Structures are given as structure tokens and as C-alpha cells.
Amino acid sequence: MTRDPEDTVLRVGQSDSDRYDRMRRVGWVDMDAVHSARILVAGAGALGNEVVKNLVLAGFNTIDVADMDDIVVSNLSRCLFFRDGDVRKVMKSDVVAQRASEMNPDACVSSIPKRIQEIDDWDYDIALGCLDNIAARMHINSHTYFRNIPYIDGATDGFRGKVHVVLPGGPCLQCTMNRTHVREAEKRFTCTGSSSTYVPRMAADITTTAVVAAMQVREAIKIASGRMDMCLKHVAYYNGESCEMFTAEASVDPGCVNHLLREGV
């Protein structure tokens, strides 16, 4: 929403007393829409911590964060909401929800301490994927695509990262997958967590995590503000070793089951 300068009465120091003043200075950002958007964050690990932090600071007030894991020591190098005293005592989603809410009293961050596959309420405006395996990503992708919920998927592997934006009607995550993804789909790539079903651990670092999470939330701000036209089309790949980034476009796979289901075929 754009403020009418004619209706504005400026007070001394006003610009520093508004938490979101600097955000409002970005002309296209609709802070009312950002405040009211209902957000799902799937995964409360490294990416999930960074994404929720960015969401709360950016003014998203209604956030559900889902994760089935508890906290282990090796999480502490990448997760700003986790503390030593949390290790093996609490669920990741519970801690993220509690400490993120403390960052901003306007934010209501709720925990869903269960598997992504067990989420049964899909009343969201935007979903952000912060997951560690293809199968869970495919699950979120299917549910969000069927319900016309924009989905912003983030992924990392060491110093490499990726952000994939799926908008209603466009190519979805599955449209870009091939035989190599199918082979990997049932492996649960993770670097921590007692519930891991697949080893080896993956390389991960906070700097790449931070870059990918920042891009994810930036795309969420665009979508919430009604500026899907500005969104990434469709995938951005980041190489932190060479500090290079490039984008690639996807196309709808006519055989993609998500598109066939959505069209009622």
C-alpha cells in the first residue's frame, strides 16, 4: 500500500520510531500485506533458522515452522536461535518459534514439531522450503502447487546453494527433476539429527546458508507485496567458492503429475 504524501503529518524523529520505516522506503513493498501473510517454513535447521529470522525482522507476523528433529551440537555452528543448553532437550521448531517471537513482539511464530508429511492444514499464503531431502521437497511442492500457494525452495551443499521459486501455474519443482533426483529422492540428506536415515553428513556452512535464506525471504516479500512479476524465474544457483551466481529458467513438464492433477487429468 502506498501512502499518500498529502495525508502524512511528519513528526520529529518519526522515521526512527517506526520499526519498518526503512522497509517502507522501498517503494513497492506492501508492509500491510507482509504483516498479514500466513507463512509456512518447512524445516527448522540451518536454513530454517535464517529464514525465520529474516521473516520476523522483515515484518512477517504469522509464521508456522515445522520440523521433527531435536537439536544436536553440530547445529550450533549455523543456527542463531539454538544454544548449548538446548542440545538433545528440545525440538528445533519449538526453539525457533519461541526465540523468533522474542525478536519481535508483533510476530506470532508457531511450532509444528512433526514430519512435513504430517502437516494437514495448508491455509498459507506462501511456503518456504528449508529441507534436507528431495522427498520432503516433492511433498511440499505437490501440496502447495495443488493449492496455488507460492513455494520458495532453498537448498545448500557446502558453499553451493540454490533458490527455486514456484508460482501458481508455472513450472514446479518436479518439472525440473530427472533420473538423478529420483535416485536421491528417498535418501534423507542431513548433517545432524538422530532421526537421520542417510549418512554421510553433508557439508554445510553458515555463509552459504545466509545467502540462500536471504534470497528466499526477499522472494517472499515480493510475493506478499503482489509483485510476482519481479520474482526469480525460476532457479538461482550460487557458488560461494567463486562468488558467482546465475539463474536458469524452467518449463512446465507436460507429464508432471502435479500439473496433470491440478488440471484434473
Q: Given the rule CB under 8 A, which residues bind other proteins?
A: 43, 45-48, 69, 129-134, 137, 154-157, 160-162, 175-181, 183-184, 189-193, 202-204, 209, 212, 234-235, 237, 239, 247-251, 253, 255
Q: Is the Cα torsion angle 100, 105, 29, 170 positive or negative in sign?
A: positive
Query: In the complex, what is the shortest distance from the CB of residue 124 to other proteins, in angstroms, rounded to a whole number?
Result: 19
Rounded distance between C-alpha atoms, residue 195 and residue 212, angstroms? 25
Q: Cell 492444514 maps to which residue?
A: 121
Grid coordinates given for 232 = 526469480
Query: In the complex, what is the shortest distance from the CB of residue 259 to other proteins, in angstroms, rounded to a whole number?
Result: 12
**Cβ closest to other proteins, residue 8 vs residue 180:** 180
Query: In the complex, what is the shortest distance from the CB of residue 121 to other proteins, in angstroms, rounded to a whole number?
Result: 23
Strand 62-66 to 126-129 pairing: unpaired
Query: In the complex, what is the shortest distance from the CB of residue 262 to other proteins, in angstroms, rounded to a whole number?
Result: 18
Q: Largest alpha-carbon pair distance within the chain? A: 61
Q: What are phi and psi of 11, to 5 degrees?
A: -110, 150
**Cβ closest to other proteins, residue 192 vs residue 258:** 192
Query: In the complex, what is the shortest distance from the CB of residue 214 to other proteins, in angstroms, rounded to a whole number?
Result: 14
**Cβ closest to other proteins, residue 27 vs residue 255:** 255
**Cβ closest to other proteins, residue 34 vs residue 116:** 116
**Cβ closest to other proteins, residue 16 vs residue 229:** 229
Query: In the complex, what is the shortest distance from the CB of residue 20 to other proteins, in angstroms, rounded to a whole number?
Result: 28
Whether the ω angle into residue 200 lies within 30 degrees of 0, i.e. cis, is yes
Q: What are phi and psi of 56, to 5 degrees?
A: -65, -45
Grid coordinates given for 8 = 502524512
**Cβ closest to other proteins, residue 150 vs residue 193:** 193
Q: Which of 77, 88, 78, 81 is nearest to 65 (CA)?
A: 81
